[in-house]
Amino acid sequence: MNVRAMRAVVVGVGTNLGAREAAIRAAQALLHARDEIQVTAVSPIYETEPLGPSQPRYLNAAFRLETARSPTELLSVLLRTERRLGRRRDADQRWGPRSIDLDLLWDERGPYDSPGLRVPHRELQNRDFALAPLLDVAPELVEAFGRSFELLGGAPRVWARDARIVVETSPRGFEVEVEADSLADACALSIGHGVCVGRPWSSLHLSIDPGVEEFSNAVRDVLHMGFSIHWATIGHCSKSQWALEFHGACMGSPTPADVRLWTTPGTHRPIRVNLATLY
């Protein structure tokens, strides 16, 4: 049996729609769950001004991976991961907002050029939001990219999540308390407490009204379907609708659950959400 050699690569990630941090954490978990891929380092998260038309600010980061997959194989995984997190590239506006963007920035094996993929990324040396997290997880590249980074003015502002997550679990259910910057982030982060082990990942997509009661009803309904929730992301958030993705495993048997989700004012943060789920 031939075992393919592992090597280091760096993937850049960006998002400016919906629950931004939850989308980054979900992308990290989905990539790490893949065969022949291990996430070995994650950069700090930076908040950056968007290119192109008026739109929300981005969160940008980078993942360092150890992988045996070829660049084209890895690109296929990145595109599937984007789709799992709600992105539809065929509907993207040029330079427009993104629920998630995953780019292969650097490969330890060296440059790679094909009709659909170029590594390093062709605009890498012109983008501080890509260079800053890249150099965080691959400091050996300072000699190659450090001068370009300096000319761009150095790193953007590091984004610090103004949030707190406390999780209590038992055989009868779990309770999560989240303090976060927005209702979308708080709802999504209130689910991200576990890791899907031993069963293939799958996703469920729902469109719901953006509110606490609607989110708790969706959690209850998904559990009643026999779906074990391990992460939730809100890929798009507007005044009228949330595009909601539940990620986890199909367990095969419904789980009757009492789900309660409520908000209370945070002491130093704009929103606090408590999710209690009892089986």
pLDDT in tens, 77-113: 999 998 887 777 766 666 678 888 999 999 998 888 8
| The pLDDT of residue 175 is above 80 | yes
Could you give the CA distance from residue 190 to residue 179 in angstroms, rounded to a whole number? 9
Q: Is 35 a catalytic residue?
A: no
Contacts of 167 (CB under 8 A, 6+ apart): 174, 175, 176, 193
Could you give the CA distance from residue 187 to residue 219 in angstroms, rounded to a whole number? 10
pLDDT of residue 193: 55
Which residue among 69, 84, 87, 127 is the active-site one?
87
Could you give the CA distance from residue 20 to residue 13 in angstroms, rounded to a whole number? 11
Neighbours of 34 (CB within 10 A): 17
Please give the angle made by the CA atoms of 42, 234 and 185, to the nearest 5 degrees: 65
pLDDT of residue 268: 63
Q: Is 98 a catalytic residue?
A: yes
* Nearest by Cα to 30 from 102, 84, 72: 84
Which residue among 20, 64, 98, 220 is the active-site one?
98
150 or 170, which is more confident?
Answer: 150
pLDDT band at 2 (very low <50, low <70, confident <90, very high): low
Is 212 buried (19+), middle (13-18) or exposed (0-12) by CB count in 10 A?
middle
Q: By three-state DSSP, how is residue 27 classified?
A: helix
Q: Is 185 a catalytic residue?
A: no
Which residue among 103, 128, 136, 185 is the active-site one?
103
Neighbours of 126 (CB within 10 A): 12
Q: Is 128 a catalytic residue?
A: no
- For domain 7-158, the question of CATH label 3.30.70.560 is answered with yes
* Range name among 103-112, 194-203, 245-254 with the lowest pLDDT average: 194-203
Mean pLDDT along residues 12-40:
88
pLDDT band at 64 (very low <50, low <70, confident <90, very high): very high
pLDDT of residue 266: 61
- Tell me the domain boundaries of the chain: 7-158, 164-278
